[in-house]
Amino acid sequence: MRALWLFAAGGALAAPLLAQDATTVAVPGEATAQGDVAVTIYQNGQSLVQDTRKLNMPAGRSKQEFPDVSAQIRAETVTLTGPGIGIVEQNFDYDLLTPAKLMEKAVGQTVTLIRTNPATGAEARVQAKVLAANGGVVLQIGNTIEVLRDDGLPVRVIFDKVPPNLRARPTLSVTLESKGGLTPTTLTYLTPGLGWTSDYVTLFDDAKQTIDVQGWVTLTNNTGTDYTKADVLLVAGNTNGGGGRRNYTTPWNGATGTIDEAGTESNDRERLGDYYLYPLAERTTIANAQQKQVSFLDVKAAPARKAYEFNNGWLATNEAASASSVLKFSTSRAGGLGDQLPAGTMRVYMRDKRGDPQFIGESRIEATPMGSAMSIRTGEAFDVKVKTIVEERTRINSSRWKTKMRYEFTNARNEAITVDLGQSGLWGDVRIPEQSQEGKRISADRVEWSVAVPANGKATLTATFDSRY
C-alpha cells in the first residue's frame, strides 16, 4: 500500500509531477513495487526477505532504486543477484526530506515568495535569495535584507525543486552494470521487526481424560512495510548466539519446566539443520502493524491426565497454600500429540456444566521435541492445599540440627487425589533419618513424596531432616 513511494525520489525529481498523468482518483492499496516475495521468519526477530523483481535496465551502468523494501532493512545485508548484472556499488541513504531540511538546503539559492494581502486577497510575487536558516529564515529581496514572515502575514515559499539525496523514506539504491533489457533480479536482505510465536488452544476433557489441541502460528509485522502475496516460511529456532560453545556459563535457554522428559522422535516435517520449518500453505499478505494467525496443528482426543504438585523451598512454617494443578500429556506419535511443538503459549480450556468452554489457565512452553513427556501448570487448585509446619527444631551437636517437619494436605474435592510434594533446599548433605512414607531423593537438593489424599479429607506426612543449619 505504500506503493510507489520512492517513485519520484532522486533523479526523477527533475521532472516534478511525474505521476500527474495517472488517473486522477487513484485510491492507494493496489500497486506495489515488490515482485515475487518470499519471507523466512525466525523466532529471534530476524527475517530473511527474498524479493524477485523484473527490472528494465539500460545497457551499461545504471542506478536502480528499490522501493517497498522493509523500512527497517539492515542495509549491510543486502545482496542483489541476476543474470548478466555486476554490482558497482550499493547505497543506503537516510537523509529525510522535511520542511526544515528543504529550507536548510536552499541557503544560497533563490526561491519564489507569494505574499497575500489579507484585506484584498491580492497576490504579489517576488524572488528572494535565502541567506540563512538559523532560528528564523533571513532573505535577500532585491537589495534589502529581511526575515521571512517577520510581520506575521501569509507568505507562500515556493522552491524550484527538491534537493538531491533528500527522500521521504530511507532508500536503497544499487549501481550496476548490465547488458540491458528486462532482467529478473533477486534482492535478498535481513530485517528486524517480523517475528512469530505459537499459540496453542487446548480443550481438556476431565471425564474422558483427553485433550484436543489446536496450534496457531502468530505472526507480527512491525517493519513499517507490507509484504504482498508473500511465500512465508517459518523457522522454529533461534539463529542468534553463534560463536563457539558455551562451557563456562550456563546460559538461560528459555527453559520453562514444561518438559519432564525430552523426546527423541522426529517426523516428516521439513528441516533446516537442527530447526524445523513451517511453510504456510498459501501465499499471504503480511500487512504492516498486523498480527496474523495461521493454523498448523490440529489433534483430537490425545490422552491427558490431571495431577497436583506442591513445592516447598525451605523448612519453614507456612499457612495453607494451594497446590498447582498440572496437566500431563505426551508429544509422542503413539498416545500423544505426534508432533514437535514450537515455543509459545498453551492456553487450557475446559467445559463448564452447560458445555461452554471456560479458560482454566495458561503456560509458556519451550520448543519441545516430539516424544516428550510434558506437564503444563495451569494454575492453583482452589480445593487442594498444603500447610507446612516446623514441629520441632533441636540441636544435636555443635554442627548439626534436627528439624521435624509436618506437611498437612487438605482436599475439599469429592474425589481422591495424589499430590506430588517436593521439598528442596537440602544442599546435598541433609539426611532424612525418619519419614512417615518413603520418598524419592531425586537429587542432592530435593526429595519428593507422592501423597494420597482422600476425597473431602486430609492427609499428613512427617519427616525429620538432619542438617548443618
Within residues 356-415, the interface with another protein by CB under 8 A covers: 356-364, 377-385, 387, 389-393, 395, 406, 410, 412-413
User: With binding defined as CB under 8 A, does residue 291 bind another protein?
Assistant: yes
Rounded-to-integer distance, Cα 226 and Cα 71, Å: 10
User: Which range, of 41-49, 165-173, 244-252, 268-276, touches another protein by CB under 8 A?
Assistant: 165-173
User: With binding defined as CB under 8 A, does residue 333 bind another protein?
Assistant: no
Q: CB of residue 320 vs another protein: minimum separation in angstroms?
A: 7
Rounded-to-integer distance, Cα 407 and Cα 166, Å: 73
Residues 7-26 that bind another protein (CB under 8 A): 7-8, 16-17, 19-20, 22, 24-26
Residues 247-276 that bind another protein (CB under 8 A): none
Choice between 96 and 442, CB closer to another protein? 96
Q: CB of residue 228 vs another protein: minimum separation in angstroms?
A: 11
The mark string for 194-233 relative to another protein (x by CB under 8 A, - otherwise) is ---x-x-x--x-x---------x-x-xxx-x-x-------
Q: CB of residue 412 vs another protein: minimum separation in angstroms?
A: 4
Residues 81-100 that bind another protein (CB under 8 A): 96-100
Rounded-to-integer distance, Cα 126 and Cα 146, Å: 13
Buried residues in 220-251 as b, exposed as e (16+ CB within 10 A)? bbbbbbbbbebbbbbbbbbeeeeeeeeeeeee
Contact in structure between 368 and 340 (CB atoms under 8 Å): yes
User: Which range, of 270-278, 283-291, 330-338, 433-441, touches another protein by CB under 8 A?
Assistant: 283-291
Burial class of residue 213, CB neighbours in 10 A (0-12, 13-18, 19+) = buried
Q: CB of residue 30 vs another protein: minimum separation in angstroms?
A: 5
User: With binding defined as CB under 8 A, does residue 116 bind another protein?
Assistant: yes
Q: Return the closest-CA partner of residue 341 out of 242, 397, 224, 258.
A: 258
Choice between 29 and 428, CB closer to another protein? 29
Rounded-to-integer distance, Cα 33 and Cα 66, Å: 8
Residue that has been written with the C-alpha cell 492445599 in this structure:
385
User: With binding defined as CB under 8 A, does residue 154 bind another protein?
Assistant: yes
Strands of 85-93's sheet in order across: 60-66, 171-178, 85-93
Q: Exactly one of 41, 73, 139, 157 binds another protein (CB under 8 A); which one?
A: 157
Where are the strands (E) in 206-356, listed by range?
A: 210-221, 227-236, 259-261, 271-272, 275-279, 284-286, 290-312, 318-330, 344-351
Q: CB of residue 309 vs another protein: minimum separation in angstroms?
A: 12
User: Which range, of 58-66, 84-92, 155-163, 257-265, touches another protein by CB under 8 A?
Assistant: 155-163
Q: Exactly one of 79, 91, 443, 456 binds another protein (CB under 8 A); which one?
A: 456
Q: CB of residue 44 vs another protein: minimum separation in angstroms?
A: 14
Choice between 316 and 444, CB closer to another protein? 316
Choice between 61 and 283, CB closer to another protein? 283
Choice between 262 and 455, CB closer to another protein? 455
User: With binding defined as CB under 8 A, does residue 307 bind another protein?
Assistant: no
- Residue 417, classed as helix, strand or coil, is strand
Q: CB of residue 241 vs another protein: minimum separation in angstroms?
A: 21
Rounded-to-integer distance, Cα 87 and Cα 80, Å: 8
Choice between 306 and 446, CB closer to another protein? 306
Rounded-to-integer distance, Cα 262 and Cα 256, Å: 13
Q: How many CB atoms lie within 10 A of CB 353?
A: 5
Q: CB of residue 151 vs another protein: minimum separation in angstroms?
A: 8
List, as one string, the DSSP characters of 349-410: EEE-TTS-EEEEEEEEE--B-BT-EEEEEEEEEEEEEEEEEEEEEEE-SSS-EEEEEEEEEE
